[in-house]
A and B are shown apart, each in its own frame.
Chain A
Amino acid sequence: MLAYIARRVVQMIPVFIGITVILFLIRSPAIVPGDPVRMIVGERAISQALYDQVVKENALDKPLYYQYGRYLTRLVQGDLGDSYQLKRPVTHILFEKLPNTLKLALVALLIETVIGLAAGILSAVKKYSFWDMLVTLSTAILVSVPVFWLGMGLQVLFGVKFKQWGLPYLPVYDMTSRDFSTVVHFIMPGFTLASASMAYAARITRSQLLEVMGQDYMRTAAAKGLSRRDVIWKHGMKNAMIPVVTFLGMDLGAMVGGTILTEMVFNWPGVGLEIYNAIQLRDWPIVTGGVIVIVFMVMIINLIVDISYAFLDPRIRYTKAVK
């Protein structure tokens, strides 16, 4: 088990280094137009001495590989540099926002699991029925809908129209207040973020359950007189759920990485919105730092999923070792 974990961690290292190289390069002067010193100090007039000092402090006069080495060394020590605009460490800014992004992703995962599994089970159990068709069509639509449009539509309908019609409505503002932890604030952003994922979850649940239902042990269970419900729940679901649970775990990572559009539409104070705002301000340390933090979170989540999966299913440990 330890060997498996070690192997997975070692596999992560080159990927992570590759990511830092790409993110380092896209903010280097070769790609980003403009004078890097100007980006740091802004448009105010500065003396030549100060200019030289900024160049020296940021090693801008050194070759690119030296700058990358310096960047990577600091990154490993948890230093993502300072924001150009706010003059504060990027890590402080991002770690204030990260819990909001993680909370949103967890709520979305919950919504995805409940709705996706229910829809998938329904359409598998009632194969080729009206419900199956309905689930099929809605999953296709959910995959194709632009999330920002869905979010706007939900805001208009449940936030504004419902209020006008005197129905219970959902809040569309106050997302930025310090204690927006009320459950209702999470419903619409969570649903928006989960939209495409729940469609995939439903599809996987359906196809897995249908595959399991064709197995011999299912026929045996039915033959020994179990009710259809017991056959599906006790024998079918247990076996069908293994790939579904893996998908859900990996999808948590995908959702942490996919919050940017949802956060923007709902003005949700997470890392995604911070990155978007920083792009507008050309505050590159926050942009690249934000991407690194998110990619790192995604990798850690995937690692945990892999490890727990290998823990539950010994076949994984051994087959991957052979590879």
Chain B
Amino acid sequence: MAEAPEQIPGERSARGAGTDSSMGRPPLSIAESVGKGRTLRGDAWRRLRKNRLAVAGLVWVAIMVLLAVSADLWVPRYLGDPVDIDTTQAASQSLQPPSWDHLLGTDRMSRDIASRIIYGARASLLVGAVAVGIMLVIGLVMGAVAAYYGGIWDSIIMRAADIFLAFPYVLFAIVLVGVMGGGSPTNVFLAIGLLGWPGIARIFRGSVLAVRENEYVDAARAMGASTPRILFRHIMPNAIAPLVVYATMSIGVAILAEAALSFLGMGVQPPAPSWGGMLSEARGYLFTAPWLMVYPGIGILTTVLAFVLLGDGLRDALDVRKKE
């Protein structure tokens, strides 16, 4: 796709569209991204910037991270504490609809919803990041071992990946957390991380197998580089593009899974704020206080959507399909 000359949007570019995952967007040609000093990363960044949906996703993720990180500095002071209940006026402030005092309304315990949503973002993003981190560590090691040592190791690891992939994701996450004991963040991280590694392992294994045939890997080995050095210094940077895309998408999936677990009462435990937990509380007030249900859901939807759009954009920008 990238080598094609200027493509005319419309009928003629339909041939390339099979590999073009950017639904509804004209593919960018390399001619558009020619600059003075060009690096692979610079090219990718230029292509990403031209993708409006991906930029929107990136901006939204940045806003969420900023809100979550800075929450302690301003949220309790201006919006209200997300957990503590102000007993002096708890009754009068309970279940207030959105107003100037409480932009998104209050919950049953008269806590400010906006404040709880911002702290909920913290929980969601933390789970997303840590779970995907665990997933990456297990997946990279498994994938590298499978590809590099091959033979029996390859068979064992790839069959194990098949077994994990045979489990329905959400169902098994719920069962795993249910068995390990809900309510502990560690168990939520572990369950989501444990279930996600086969995807990473498969992608990394494929990339390693493809990349290690290159001459520069032989050259590095001839110069006496150790196996880990070859893996991380020479193979990894050339195999990273599909992993970046997959990991970005996985953060969205992990956030959805955490929300589901908290909704079922197995994730973040009340009174600590989490989007899924807030939705679970809202279930009791679907008809009397519908705003309880609206905003946490929008929080989940927009954040996951941002990661999906960013992942889609990265796939196009890094031209992952071509390398696969």
Give A residues with C-beta under 8 Å from B: 14-15, 18-19, 22, 26-27, 31-33, 123, 127-128, 132-133, 135-136, 139-141, 143-149, 152-153, 155-156, 160, 203, 206-208, 210-211, 213-214, 254, 256-258, 260-261, 264, 272, 275-276, 279, 284, 287-288, 291, 294-295, 298-299
Contact = CB atoms under 8 A, between A and B. Distances in A.
B168 A257 contact: yes
Nearest to A196: B256
Nearest to A255: B168
Nearest to B309: A140
Nearest to A213: B14
Given A146-B259, A261-B170, A291-B167, A214 B297 contact: no
Contacts of B25: 136
B interface, how many residues as a size bin? 35 or more
A291 B179 CA distance: 13
8 contacts: A19-B167, A140-B309, A146-B304, A147-B260, A210-B17, A211-B14, A275-B175, A295-B168
Interface of B: 9-11, 14-18, 20-21, 23-26, 53, 159-160, 162-163, 166-172, 174-176, 178-181, 252, 256, 259-260, 263-264, 266, 276, 279, 282-283, 286-287, 290, 293, 297, 300-302, 304-305, 308-309, 312
Contact of A149 (B169, B266, B279): B279
B174 A214 contact: no
Contacts of B175: 26, 275, 279, 287-288, 291
Contacts of A127: 10, 14, 17, 24
A284 B290 CA distance: 36
A143 B252 CA distance: 10
Contacts of A135: 23-24
A288 B297 CA distance: 31
A275 B175 CA distance: 8
Contacts of B181: 33
A132 B24 contact: yes
A18 B160 contact: yes
Given A214-B18, A279-B266, A295-B167, 9 more contacts: A22-B163, A146-B301, A148-B279, A153-B297, A213-B11, A214-B16, A264-B264, A287-B179, A294-B171
A260 B170 contact: yes
Contacts of A294: 168, 171
B226 to A, nearest CB: 33
B171 A203 contact: no
B308 A146 contact: no
Given A148-B260, A210-B17, A284 B168 contact: no
B23 A123 contact: yes
Given A22-B163, A144-B304, A139 B23 contact: yes
A279 to B, nearest CB: 4
Nearest to B279: A149
Given A272-B171, A291-B171, A149 B293 contact: yes
Among all A-B residue pairs, the 3 with the closest Cβ atoms: A257-B168, A211-B18, A214-B15
A298 B20 CA distance: 30
Contacts of A214: 14-18
A214 B170 CA distance: 38
A146 B297 contact: yes
Given A128-B9, A214-B14, A141 B305 contact: yes
A269 B167 CA distance: 21
Given A152-B283, A260-B171, A207 B166 contact: no
B159 A279 contact: no
A80 B71 CA distance: 49
B179 A31 contact: yes
Given A133-B24, A206-B23, A298-B168, A26 B176 contact: yes
Contact of A210 (B9, B14, B174): B14
A144 B252 contact: yes
Contacts of B170: 258, 260-261
Contact of A19 (B11, B166, B180, B283): B166
Contact of B174 (A15, A206, A279, A299): A279
Contacts of B309: 140
Nearest to B173: A260
A34 to B, nearest CB: 10
